[in-house]
Every structure is written in C-alpha cells, then in structure tokens.
C-alpha cells in the first residue's frame, strides 16, 4: 500500500522531516519526506497497513515544538511503490 500525506500547521523549522524520517525508518517503510513551498510537509510512504497506521499516528502527533492542524491523506496506486527506496529526506541539503 502507498499513501501520500500532506501535513499542515507549524511543521517547518521544528525538525519535522527528521522526526518523520526516524519514525518511518524504524517501521521499515519506503518513501520520502520533504517541505513544500507552501509551508507544509509532504510524505509518500509504502508499507503494510499496520506500519502505515503507526506512521499516521506519528504524523498527527509530530515532534516537540510542532503543531499539526490538518493531515490530508490519499491512497496512491501500488505501482508508485516501484520507484521508492529506503526512506529518505528530500531537499534537506
């Protein structure tokens, strides 16, 4: 299963991408996380239902200092998973 998340709130400048990377890596999910130009954080993650549910719960909590106002979620076609490797942060450097 492949999910796309868009996290809105105070999610940039608070270590949100690093938090997502750690949580997703511990769950052995594949995919990526990045900041958007609109001040949101975008996540694409592939894995089993249970692990994705755990990631969803982590995204709702966020790291210390963040505030999640809204979590938008969409299912992507399973073919999208073919291009995903171990979880990474995009645009971090």
Sequence-ordered list of residues with C-beta below 8 angstroms from that of 72, at least 6 positions apart, any chain: 5, 6, 7, 8
| 48 carries an active-site annotation | no
Six-digit token string for 54 = 């755990």
CA separation for the pair 81, 61 (Å, rounded): 25
User: Which listed residue (10, 35, 48, 88) is catalytic?
Assistant: 35
User: Which listed residue (17, 34, 48, 61) is catalytic?
Assistant: 17
As annotated, the active-site residues are: 17, 35
């Amino acid at each position: 299963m492949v999910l796309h998340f868009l996290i809105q709130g105070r999610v940039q400048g608070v270590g949100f991408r690093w938090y997502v990377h750690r949580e997703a890596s511990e769950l052995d999910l594949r995919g990526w996380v990045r900041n958007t130009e609109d001040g949101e954080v975008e996540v694409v993650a592939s894995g089993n239902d249970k692990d994705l549910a755990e990631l969803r719960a982590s995204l709702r909590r966020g790291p210390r200092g963040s505030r999640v106002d809204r979590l938008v979620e969409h299912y992507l076609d399973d073919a999208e998973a073919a291009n995903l490797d171990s979880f990474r942060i995009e645009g971090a450097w």
